A and B are shown apart, each in its own frame.
Chain A
Amino acid sequence: MLDKSLQALTAAVTLDPVRSSSSERGVVYVYEAPVRLWHWINAAAILVLSLSGYFIGSAIPTMPGETSDNFLFGYIRFAHYLTAYVLTLGFLLRIYWAIVGNPYAKQIFYVPLWRKSYWREVWHEIRWYAFVAAEPKEYVAHNPLAQFAMFFMFTLTIAFMIVTGFALYAQGTGNDSWQYRLFGWVFSIWPNSQDVHTWHHLGLWMIMTFALIHIYTAVREEIVSRQSIVSSIIFGEREFRD
């Protein structure tokens, strides 16, 4: 398999995330198969969840005909809950993979805010995106700014959505359900569940904003930077082009 043939190469690459520009042209295996699979399942889940979630919040135009002939809103809600389970399981497995996978798999779960060099590199990335720096640096996995956005906009928001989502789901399953036992504490923070709905709704827009930035920068970097981005999350390896 492609994965196996690249493993020797992966092992050979040092863990230093910043490659000096003088190093030879190379290919690094960054995103292991479970990470890639999770990425795309997760992306699809987010698409379904956002659409169904938006419709749950705003409701659909009134369905014509007999009530007993219609169940559309029920199906939309069912799709939301089903996909939410997929997303949650995926997120848990992704956490597991962060523990057993390669070092790059851990990146979206922390930001090395305490490291001085990290801030220096963030500054460089900001200069790159502000068209001040002429050349981007090369990174095997996420660049420092991407890691920042990934953690604060994606990872934390998804965790928040899972917690508030299950709390709201527990309203339907009842006080004695495991969902309420695990996530009912949310209603100690916001006693009126209307607030939880509002926050869950704001979370949707946070994820949407993240998706916009994420897709744009991924495509842009694929075109203008010195490394592969989009193909890496499909095939796993990162190609450095100079």
Chain B
Amino acid sequence: MGGATETFYSVIRRQGITRRSFHKFCSLTATSLGLGPLAASQIANALETKPRVPVIWMHGLECTCCSESFIRSAHPLAKDVVLSMISLDYDDPIMAAAGHQAEAILEETRAKYKGQYVLAVEGNPPLNEGGMFCIDGGKPFVEKLKAMAADSIVIIAWGTCASWGCVQAAKPNPTQATPIDKVITNKPIIKVPGCPPIAEVMTALVTFITTFGKLPELDRQGRPKMFYSQRIHDKCYRRPHFDAGQFVERWDDESARKGYCLYKMGCKGPTTYNACSAVRWNGGVSFPIQSGHGCFGCSEDGFWDKGSFYDRLTTIKQFGIEANADQIGMAAAGAVGLAVATHAAVTAAKRLTRKPGRVAQEK
């Protein structure tokens, strides 16, 4: 555990990282955040002078894929940098301490850095049965979360679980898994959705907060604008095929081999806000669409409940049967069309049979 006065720079120098590498990291980070050339020196200055920010990283109902993603951050330095940049005081799956020792750290941080530490939450609390479905350190996770949130400065909601609910909150959500912003309402919350979020997005976000000491600009949904203001679709390299009207219709057809647009295969790129098509995964190697599969929309709210991943139109379950908007609409229009035709027939029949009588009456 680093002291409060220890800076990030002193930590990485101690780890044997050269000043040259440090500046490389600063310019790389400035670029990935979309900042100007002067920002690199600002970042360097901040990291040399500012005390390391204590971070408590808690795990609720989740699968740890966010952590798995985070520690695989593409640039090897970036991972080291972030892990030493922040003072990661508590992170139960990867920390050395366990049991009472680990729990003691929570209390210690809370008392020592009251109103100064960042609370990163991976996963979410289930609220049903008094939070019984996620017990952590002998207590329901929701209680631990509320206690630690009370004295934090900002909460980072890692991943779709913490941001939207994800698979454990999918219908019928038996444990009543609830996203962080529905449980903690009095703290600023940054949502970093994705299942998992992109490693570089996570590290860049932490860098931004520790460097500038402020929150990045958030969009309407509480996501950092710098990574979530555009859809996968907007930067997709297959976009020209979409505009041309060239679509994959079967997984093994000619279009699939030519790498055409996956719109018809249910790609959720047009409705998914994330940076995959710009940053990509595994060190910029690829992302789902580049590998020939449509986007799932894993960073979107309730993505498990929008029907098949391979349908363009969402399944609408409210109608009792599983149907999409087209099937429901066509059924409604068809029924009305049939009614209209019947009505027209009856009108015609009535008119034909009534006519002689009516004419006679008028005479």
Contacts and interface: CB of A to CB of B under 8 A. Distances in A.
Contacts of B221: 187, 191
A201 B241 contact: no
Given A70-B246, A192-B271, A201 B340 contact: no
Contact of A58 (B300, B312, B336): B312
B326 A57 contact: yes
A241 to B, nearest CB: 12
A3 interface: no
A194 interface: yes
B303 interface: yes
Interface hub of A57, A184, A201 (most chain B Cβ within 10 A): A201
B245 A174 contact: no
Contacts of B268: 194
Interface string B210-235: 00000000011100010001110010
A74 B245 CA distance: 8
Contacts of A193: 271, 300
Interface stretch (A16-24, A158-166, A209-217): A209-217
Nearest to A184: B220
Nearest to B268: A194
Contacts of A206: 329
A224 B270 CA distance: 49
A129 interface: yes
B325 A198 contact: yes
Contacts, number: 133
B220 A224 contact: no
A131 interface: yes
B242 interface: yes
B330 A57 contact: no
Contacts of A202: 325, 328-329
A187 B39 CA distance: 33
Interface in B263-278: 263-264, 268, 270-271
Interface in A55-101: 57-63, 67-74, 76-77
B297 interface: yes
Contacts of B164: 191
A72 B340 CA distance: 35
A73 B333 contact: no
B246 A194 contact: no
Interface size grouping (class) on chain B: 35 or more
A73 to B, nearest CB: 4
Contact of B244 (A73, A197, A216, A223): A73
Contact of A188 (B220, B264, B316, B329): B220
B269 to A, nearest CB: 11
A67 B241 contact: yes
Contact of B249 (A62, A131, A204): A62
B226 to A, nearest CB: 11
A81 to B, nearest CB: 13
A171 B268 CA distance: 13
Contacts of B242: 73
A74 B313 contact: no
A192 B301 contact: yes
A131 B314 contact: no
Contacts of A174: 229-230
Nearest to B249: A62
A205 interface: yes
B278 to A, nearest CB: 14
A174 B229 CA distance: 7
A216 B351 CA distance: 16
Contact of A63 (B220, B244, B312, B325): B244
B144 interface: no
Contact of B306 (A68, A184, A192, A223): A192
Contacts of B316: 198
For the complex of A and B, the 6 pairs showing the least CB-CB separation, nearest first, are A205-B329, A70-B244, A73-B245, A201-B325, A74-B243, A191-B301
Interface of B: 164, 219-221, 225, 229-231, 234, 240-247, 249, 255, 260, 263-264, 268, 270-271, 297, 300-303, 306, 312-314, 316, 324-326, 328-330, 332-333, 336-337, 340, 343-344, 346-347, 350-351
